[in-house]
């Protein structure tokens, strides 16, 4: 297994750790970060999420630079992203975050499942693994930034009174819908015989 694929697998391994930190009640106290109190478990979850997000950037860069692009990587890399992002949004809703409405998380999760299903159909019919489009990469970037800002309680923007987490959340929502539509439109031939 090459390095980019190892990084992808590492990202997948980090997901249950991230989930554990947010799901299991732990009274580790809170820490003051630039005047904003953040529960320690939530801060640790944010750090795990940041590390996982950085592996997403690194594995793609290494794969392209060293010509290590594989079908496994083209399939597993976006799948790992989807698993990480869906887990984060579901946990933000599940932990009672006022910043993430359940309907937004539902749309994002549905988009991820629909695109994954489309990828599987294309792979089964054509034997082709479609790589992530730019719109999908932009969507993933904003989703990851959104989760980090929300987990850190908007700490870097709190003094500016800018709801950056909310702004990024709505950008993520628009990017998710747009990229989902783009994937289905570009691959509409898959369903041509079904109608």
Q: Indicate the burial class of 59 (C-beta count within 10 angstroms; 0-12, 13-18, 19 or more).
A: buried
- Give CA–CA dist 127/82, Å, rounded: 22
Q: How many domains does the chain have?
A: 1
Tell me the average pLDDT across 149-161: 80
Considering the domain boundaries, does residue 101 fall inside one?
Answer: yes
Residue 93 is part of which domain span? 3-188
- Give CA–CA dist 65/154, Å, rounded: 34
What pLDDT does 122 receive? 84
**Residue 102 tokens, joined:** 């359940």
Q: Indicate the burial class of 73 (C-beta count within 10 angstroms; 0-12, 13-18, 19 or more).
A: buried
What pLDDT does 73 receive? 80
Considering the domain boundaries, does residue 171 fall inside one?
Answer: yes
- Give CA–CA dist 118/43, Å, rounded: 35
Say whether pLDDT at 174 is over 80.
yes
**What does the pLDDT look like over 46-65, one tens digit per residue?**
999 999 999 988 887 888 88
Considering the domain boundaries, does residue 95 fall inside one?
Answer: yes
- Give me the CATH number covering residue 44: 1.20.120
- Give CA–CA dist 148/79, Å, rounded: 19
pLDDT band at 131 (very low <50, low <70, confident <90, very high): low
Considering the domain boundaries, does residue 195 fall inside one?
Answer: no
Considering the domain boundaries, does residue 194 fall inside one?
Answer: no
Average pLDDT, the chain: 87
Considering the domain boundaries, does residue 165 fall inside one?
Answer: yes
Considering the domain boundaries, does residue 178 fall inside one?
Answer: yes
* Maximal CA-CA distance, the chain: 59
**What does the pLDDT look like over 81-103, one tens digit per residue?**
889 999 999 999 987 766 789 99
Considering the domain boundaries, does residue 169 fall inside one?
Answer: yes
């Amino acid at each position: 297994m090459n390095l980019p694929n190892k990084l992808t697998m590492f990202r997948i391994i980090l997901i249950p750790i991230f989930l554990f930190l947010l799901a299991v009640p732990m009274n580790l106290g809170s820490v003051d970060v630039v005047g904003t109190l953040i529960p320690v478990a939530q801060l640790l979850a944010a750090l795990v999420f940041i590390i996982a997000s950085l592996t997403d950037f690194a594995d793609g860069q290494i794969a392209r630079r060293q010509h290590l692009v594989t079908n496994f990587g083209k399939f597993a890399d976006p799948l790992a992203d989807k698993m990480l992002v869906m887990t984060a949004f579901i946990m933000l809703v599940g932990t009672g975050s006022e910043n993430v409405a359940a309907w937004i998380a539902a749309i994002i999760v549905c988009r991820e499942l629909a695109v994954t299903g489309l990828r599987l159909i294309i792979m089964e019919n054509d034997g082709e693994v479609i790589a992530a489009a730019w719109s999908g990469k932009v969507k993933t970037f904003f989703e990851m930034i959104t989760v980090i800002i929300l987990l850190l309680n908007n700490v870097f923007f709190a003094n500016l009174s800018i709801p950056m987490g909310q702004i990024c959340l709505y950008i993520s929502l628009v990017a998710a819908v747009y990229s989902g539509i783009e994937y289905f439109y570009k691959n509409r031939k898959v369903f041509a015989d079904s109608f």
